[in-house]
Amino acid sequence: MAEPVRPTGLQTPRSETAAAGPRPSRAQEFREVLFELVRLDGVRGGLMVTPDGLVITSELPPRFPVEALAALAATLGRQLEVGAERLGRGGFRTALFSSDDGTVFLGGSPVGYLILLGDRNVNLASVRLALRKGVDRLHGTWKTPAAAGVA
């Protein structure tokens, strides 16, 4: 995953924000991406979490430990990003981790991580492909004029 480009420092407010008006919410795009992915065969649910562990949106069964899972998934996402960088493997994109009972899929993007939970019969290759497409869509949401260095 390409590391996100920080448009400005927190100490330097951009007057362009007020002049340009608010940008459309990325949250809607996040929800749409996740909504499509959790409907794939063998996928039990999923969530989208920011690198700091904030749950942006989730589609998980009731009484699922969302906060705990989000904290672990964000930690895993960061470990994969940092590790890929340290080992000179280029940006982290997707990962899957399987047990005898199911699979956790994780996709990395500048805005955060997409996590999907698959059952034991989930098709690893097709879900990973769909996840990668979802991640590409999230990459697209980051390409704002400010992030491209226009501001």
**Which residues in 8-67 contact another protein (CB under 8 A)?**
8-14, 17, 22-23, 25-27, 29-30, 50-54, 56, 65, 67
**Which residues in 56-75 contact another protein (CB under 8 A)?**
56, 65, 67-75
Closest contact distance (angstroms) between CB of 115 and another protein is: 8
Tokens of 61: 């069964």
Query: What's the gap between Cα 56 and its chain centre?
Result: 9
Q: Smallest Cα–Cα separation from 51: which of 28, 22, 80?
A: 80
Closest contact distance (angstroms) between CB of 39 and another protein is: 19
- Shorter beta-carbon distance to another protein: residue 39 or 65: 65
Tokens of 82: 């940092």
Tokens of 110: 């500048």
If one asks whether residue 137 binds another protein (CB under 8 A), the answer comes out as: no
**Which residues in 85-124 contact another protein (CB under 8 A)?**
86-104, 111-112, 117, 124
Handedness of CA 111, 116, 122, 124 (dihedral sign): positive
